[in-house]
Structure 1
């Protein structure tokens, strides 16, 4: 029998944390963070990390397991998450992965592999030169114009992965995300999987994101960014996280605080859009709109979906 697994995905600020805790209480679950930045100790406010009070006694995993100077890869997340899923199932509980980092979650629920195109050093060298002369954003924009779904999955600063995606396209003529989608259509999850997606009307979501950023500023995210800047690890994955990198130019005197805040809000909104695009195109998600009724009414729908999908109603 396949192990049971619930996954809750969706854009930032849509309400995944509250929903996951309520669901864990309802179905005897434990929560695994699927956020690639919440693994870092000391980065609490900027990553919207769940507080101990918000956990309401529900065990949470994959939070505060790394120092900001340490790397954290998809492969490492996949290995640790699979171990936790088995451990939680063996306790007779239901594991619930919660997060917005699509590639990390996909690596656990399915086999995530792109077909390997023959490597073309000439194409790669030309793309590398373009990245060096025009900057990583120019290269990412090129990928966005060719394959917006794949581009949504890759941070603009991850030049290596952007180059690899473009190399596949220019070498084979095939669009990486479509090739991956064709493979996924034939692929079943290795788990008895209930995949819940939370969505929200775009303008309302953007208002929530802006309000969250304002609260982050009041709660001390500038101090967190200053501490991170002092670690002298500007090339680390943690230092490139949305919520911190936008504040560095303010802390170094390059732009005003108001400009940094607006940049943070803009990048957060864009990230939310990329998250939705990725999940909508890459995974078979059952979507629930969080702006159509009261939370309790919507939560009952989500709970019934999960119970039916995993056949666990007799356990609650």
Structure 2
């Protein structure tokens, strides 16, 4: 079966992903619909599908870096700002909604452009079947699965049996009586920490992936162990050993800026985000109250996971005093640090997790005599003064050739930084 094409744009926060997506969408809306070889292609414009886990929520547009209506330039933006701030929305739900949006866009003979900084979502959209069972389920789905499961005990694997033998008795009692719904780290910190301690005792590799306050993922991990009789880490490792065929023929564009240039750019952008937080606190105190913006709030749920909420909670809840000013300075510095660390994690995920899966898929298709199924290009967005030359024009040329199924340029030769960042060890990633 011929795979339908999509464009996917990934990269760190603040690097210009939305800008490029809109430029490409407008180019294909206004261009003559012919390929470089003179043949016609069917695409009549494009639609943008959001792949940022925080931009799916309504509100806090500056804090979550949403593009404004004016900046959207009339291009449809789907899966953006449509969830309530405190609503849970996980990867499996997004994949379902994104595939529906892509199918609808293809039916319109328009090109889907998936763009966002949550590369984890994007990877599992393009490469299906790599999510561990139940990791993508909501609490309600998880409760329905476990409450309707048969009472017959699952036979434990040897690895799980050995882990259980070393687990304290009180934690084993918790394992045998797992809660139906994850406890709130804000209101039930002891229960949340104990739940994570149980996971750390049984499966330390997976426990290290989740903060103890991220009780939903901790509980899912434990439910997976209990239902399957196997350690989650063993299941993940087993899945990582098998290559996954992509769901779409995907052109992956990775926007990248060198940290020494990006970090000051991020710092300047934070000023607007800080202004938004303080303005809302001053003019809409009910919003702060509704959001439970307090030191005890649950920062693992909905939009409250955004960088800024946790960092500014103490400042916004401190009465006017010298301490409030100190809290403000501290919050700004912690927000800068959190943003830079997040950008590092985004790059690390792309290089260590996404690219190995992409390379494995491309190797398989090339060996079968076909073109790479997920051609991937790094575009150097370090110098904003050279954006058109280094980013926009290169992206448009590659996209036209991709849609026309023409031979594409060598990804390592597109820019000086491409060879450095795209060259990775041939390891299998999760």
* TM bucket, shorter chain: 0.7 to 0.9
Aligned residue in 2 for 1:300? 393
Change (3 A) 1:252 1:78: same
> Match for 1:229 among 262, 276, 288?
288
Q: Does 1:109 align with 2:126?
A: yes
Change (3 A) 1:227 1:24: farther
Of the structure 1 ranges 105-114 and 197-206, higher mean CA displacement relative to structure 2 is found in: 105-114
Deviation at residue 73 of structure 1 after TM alignment: 1.6
**Cα separation, partners in 2 of 1:261 and 1:34, compared to 1, 3 Å:** same
State the 1:66 CA deviation: 1.2
Deviations 1:169-227 (A, max 9, x none): xx7696887655433xx222110111111111112111111111112223x23344665
User: What is the DSSP-based 3-state SS (H/G/I as helix, E as strand, rest coil) of the residue aligned with 1:13?
Assistant: coil
| Cα deviation code 1:40-94 (max 9, x no counterpart) | 1122121011101110111111112111122112121111110000111111110
Match of 1:40 among 46, 57, 71: 57
- Deviations along 1:75-128, one digit per CA (max 9) or x if unpaired, are 211111100001111111101111011222222111132389968594598599
Do the aligned partners of residues 278 and 181 (structure 1) sit closer, same or farther apart at CA in structure 2, a change above 3 Å counting? farther
Q: 1:290 aligns with which of 373, 377, 381?
A: 381
Question: SS at the partner of 1:30?
Answer: strand
Measure the CA separation in 2 of the matches of 1:297 and 1:248: 42
Mean Cα deviation higher: 277-286 or 39-48: 277-286
| SS of residue paired to 1:96 | strand
Query: Aligned in 2, Cα 1:294/1:179: closer, same or farther, shift over 3 Å?
Result: farther
Cα–Cα, structure 1 residues 69 and 174, in superposed 2: closer, same or farther, change >3 Å?
closer
Write the mapping of 1:51-200 to structure 2, written as runs, cut at 5 A: 51-111=68-128, 112-114=130-132, 122=164, 132=190, 151=209, 157-161=213-217, 180-183=239-242, 186-200=243-257
TM-score by length of 1: 0.80
Change (3 A) 1:147 1:290: farther
Please state whether the residue corresponding to 1:229 is helix, strand or coil.
helix
| Number of corresponding residues | 300
CA shift in 2, pair 1:38/1:248, >3 Å: same
Q: Which structure's CA Rg is the greater one?
A: 2
Number of the residue aligned with 2:179: none
For 2:393 and 2:132, locate their aligned partners in 1 and report how far apart those are by CA, in whole Å: 37
Q: Kindly report the root-mean-square deviation, in angstroms, between the aligned alpha carbons of the 2 structures.
A: 3.6
Distance 1:115 1:216, change over 3 A: closer
Q: Distance in 2 between matches of 1:173 and 1:157?
A: 19
Give the secondary-structure state (helix, strand or coil) at the position aligned to 1:287. Answer: strand
Q: Aligned with 2:244: secondary structure? A: coil
Task: Sort the Cα spacing of 1:311 and 1:177 in 2 relative to 1 into closer, same or farther, 3 A.
Answer: farther
User: Unaligned 5+ residue runs, structure 1?
Assistant: none
In the alignment, does 2:309 pair up with 1:309?
Answer: no
Q: Could you tell me how far 1:155 is from its partner in structure 2?
A: 6.4
Moved more, 64-73 or 267-276: 64-73
Conserved 8 A contact 2:206-2:232: no
Q: Does 1:10 align with 2:11?
A: yes
Tell me how far apart the structure 2 counterparts of residues 195 and 147 of structure 1 sit (CA, whole Å): 29
